[in-house]
Structure 1
Amino acid sequence: MKRRRSPQGLERTSSRREPKKRILVMCEGTVTEVQYFSGIKDHFRALPVEIGTCDIDGCGRDPLGVVRAAEKRRDTAHRKAQRQGDAYLAYDEVRAVVDVDEHTSLEAAIRRARESGIRLAISTPCFEIWLLRHFQECSAALTSAIVQNKIHRYVPGYEKHLPEDFPYGEHGTARRRARTADPHHDSPNRKGRNPSTNAWLTIDAIAASGQRDAKSSRW
């Protein structure tokens, strides 16, 4: 089998199977999003996936700041990979997760993500709309406050923290509901209608880098 050649002249050692992609997922939120994607990473046993947060990277907690933080983390990893001659230290794919809420930097973030090759997942009005779709359909326009209240019905005491028994296995149901509500919101770096989310694109990428068979994981 031919060796897989990584960008910028770095190479990965050949093996019987094509190595899983090393993926960075940079989150706008510092609690809920990080907990959720960490849970999905564990669900799929996706060891090559790293979950980043602006709380650690010191970026502004807005869409543009998240994209910049993702660029910084990616470029730092690539330089380290070049210095050590180890392509496994670089990221094959970089994704970022943001929401619309009341941010004014979203359009700038979308443009920068496209230019930088970062795949942006956008939720309207907020990331919690993706969590809510693990439990119910929702098609009428919503505010962030209404979404939060609805989640409380299913997750008593929810205050930006996910319980240990959150139904990560229902991601496939949430995916179907999200695609039904906005069929055109099926690519990164694109804002959908209210309510909408293409967070499922990030889950798909994590699943592809995992050791668990996605087909047996309630798609």
Structure 2
Amino acid sequence: MTRRRPAHRPLKRQIYVGCEGASEASYAALLQDFVTEAALPFYLKIEDLGRGAGDPLARVETAVRRIGQQTKKRIAPDACFLLLDADQLALDPLRAERARRMAADNNITLVWQDPCFEAVLLRHLPNRAALRPHDSKRAEDVLVRNWPDYRKPMPRAGLAQRIDIEAVMRAAAAEPDLAKLLRALGLIAV
């Protein structure tokens, strides 16, 4: 009697996605669903950095620590991204610049959501890709007008009711930083 070898499964590359909060973590989980549906060889390690971290620098520092802990366990990610609200940059420009430098020094790509996650979500909706609300409050108001069922934080299942892969591509066309993440995941051709 011969033993059967298990079927060969290609290893999935891990992509670290640090998120400003629960909303972004839900969105990253939705992206994982699209990666899985497309049978792409990537796995997202999603972390909500919202608890205990305030501004972009604090979130980058937290991400660097967590990535370092993973690396010590020999589970180093192949690429690292952080989803951050751009409206936080103006609060302390010096700390914002330190965040940019620290991210670059640690090979972390910053995905700036201008001015916030809700504005980026708005750009997923049909005929809304060009909308650029000036602040977070206005972005959320416009989003709710266009998506009356939207609640913050929206769970992955709620996002999936309105956002499909075409919507993600529509947003990526208007959001170069988001497009970088999608390229790393193989959802957009290089």
Paired letter, 1:61: G
Out of 43, 46, 55, the position equivalent to 1:62 is 55
The yes-or-no answer on 1:167 pairing with 2:158 is: no
Partner residue of 1:137?
Answer: 129
The yes-or-no answer on 1:75 pairing with 2:71 is: no
The yes-or-no answer on 1:119 pairing with 2:109 is: yes
In the alignment, the residues of structure 1 paired with residue 60 and residue 132 of structure 2 have an alpha-carbon distance, to the nearest angstrom, of 29
Structure 2: which 5+ residue stretches go unaligned? 1-7
**Which runs of at least 4 in structure 1 moved beyond 3 Å after TM superposition?**
16-20
Q: Is the 8 A contact 2:123 2:131 kept in 1?
A: no
In the alignment, the residues of structure 2 paired with residue 130 and residue 64 of structure 1 have an alpha-carbon distance, to the nearest angstrom, of 21
In the alignment, the residues of structure 1 paired with residue 96 and residue 52 of structure 2 have an alpha-carbon distance, to the nearest angstrom, of 15
In the alignment, the residues of structure 2 paired with residue 155 and residue 127 of structure 1 have an alpha-carbon distance, to the nearest angstrom, of 14
Structure number with the higher helix fraction is 2
Higher mean displacement: 164-173 or 111-120: 164-173
Q: CA deviation at 1:148?
A: 0.5
Q: Is the 8 A contact 2:120 2:171 kept in 1?
A: yes
Equivalenced residue count is 167
Q: Is the 8 A contact 1:77 1:90 kept in 2?
A: yes
Paired letter, 1:199: L
In the alignment, the residues of structure 2 paired with residue 22 and residue 140 of structure 1 have an alpha-carbon distance, to the nearest angstrom, of 32
Q: CA deviation at 1:18?
A: 6.9
Q: Structure 1 residues 157 and 140 mapped into 2: Cα distance closer, same or farther (>3 Å)?
A: closer
Q: Any idea what the Cα deviations from partners look like across 1:69-107, whole Å, max 9, x if unmatched?
A: 2111111111111xxxxxxx2211111111122442322
Q: Is the 8 A contact 1:100 1:106 kept in 2?
A: no
Paired letter, 1:76: Q
TM-score, length basis structure 2:
0.77
Structure 1: which 5+ residue stretches go unaligned? 1-15, 82-88, 179-185, 187-197, 209-213
TM-score, length basis structure 1:
0.67
Partner residue of 1:41?
Answer: 32
Higher mean displacement: 112-121 or 101-110: 101-110
